[in-house]
Amino acid sequence: MASLHQLNSIQKLPHCLRLLAAGDQLLLTETAVTLVLDTESLQQLPAGVELLALADDLLARGLSEKLPSGVKGISDAQWVETTLEAERVCSW
């Protein structure tokens, strides 16, 4: 696995997009989980980027049942595991 990009704010997405590459993972946390409803933004992701969203943040915003295909909800424990497996972690 290449890089794990942790995005916690929608406003930081343009900066993050410049460094995302195939094989990377993008984890949406905090208010950034609302991006799961923004198909236009999701279409900007490079091909081959795995999109993850923190399950507790989805639940807190009533989005758990609204995940589009291709978005995987993960637990806090899975987040830690994903972080440990990544070659690099970048927090936005």
Per-residue model confidence (pLDDT) at position 62: 93
Segments of the chain with pLDDT less than 70: 1
φ/ψ of residue 61, rounded to 5:
-110, 10
**Contacting residues for 29 by C-beta, under 8 A, at least 6 apart:** 6, 7, 8, 53, 54, 57
Which pTM was predicted? 0.92
Per-residue model confidence (pLDDT) at position 1: 58
Per-residue model confidence (pLDDT) at position 32: 96
How many Å separate Cα 60 from the centre of its chain? 16
φ/ψ of residue 24, rounded to 5:
-80, 165
Per-residue model confidence (pLDDT) at position 42: 86
Distances (CA, A) of 87 to 1, 21, 31: 6, 13, 25
